[in-house]
Amino acid sequence: MKERIKQFVADKRGVSPVIGVVLMVAVVVILAAVIGAFVLGLGGNQDTTPQASFSYDSASGNVVYEGGDQITASNLKAVSGDTEKPFSSGKDGSTVSAGDSVKIDASAGDTVRVVYTDPDGGDSTTLWKTTV
């Protein structure tokens, strides 16, 4: 009987494959969770572009901020061709309010855009555009 117990304890062939399978499954599950988190955008902070609406008054040549997310004025500019005009009022950190406008010279057929520059990354995004 003692010899059978020693043989049973010494024989670990059946345990090794089970441990190997469990470890492989654990690695696959952890890897899938990490990849899934990054694919779904949960792996880091995502900067979002502000949402806002603008209009162009062709009589005055003004681009008018109609409303939307709170945007720092120094991060917004109106662009037409080579001309760029900031929405900034001169006050550091001031935000754009509904009705704020900037005059930009544009001729018939020109495209007028409002461009937002991300203060953290410096990336520029066109928030709005129209053809005069």
Q: How many whole angstroms separate alpha carbon 74 and alpha carbon 19? A: 60
Q: How many whole angstroms separate alpha carbon 55 and alpha carbon 74? A: 19
3-state secondary structure 77-127: EEEECCEEEECCCCCCCCECCCCCEEECCCCCCCEEEEEEECCCCCCEEEE
Q: So what's the pLDDT on residue 10?
A: 66
The structure tokens 């018939």 sit at 108
Q: So what's the pLDDT on residue 54?
A: 94
Number of C-beta neighbours around residue 124 at 10 A: 13
Q: So what's the pLDDT on residue 11?
A: 64
Radius of gyration of the chain (CA): 31
Kindly report, residue by residue over 4-29, the tens digit of the pLDDT. 777 766 666 656 778 888 999 999 99
Give the Cα-Cα-Cα angle 128, 59, 105 (nearest 5 degrees). 60
Below-50 pLDDT ranges, the chain: none
pTM: 0.62
Q: So what's the pLDDT on residue 27?
A: 96
Q: So what's the pLDDT on residue 94?
A: 85
Q: So what's the pLDDT on residue 23?
A: 92
Evaluated on CA atoms 125, 127, 131, 132, the torsion sign reads: negative
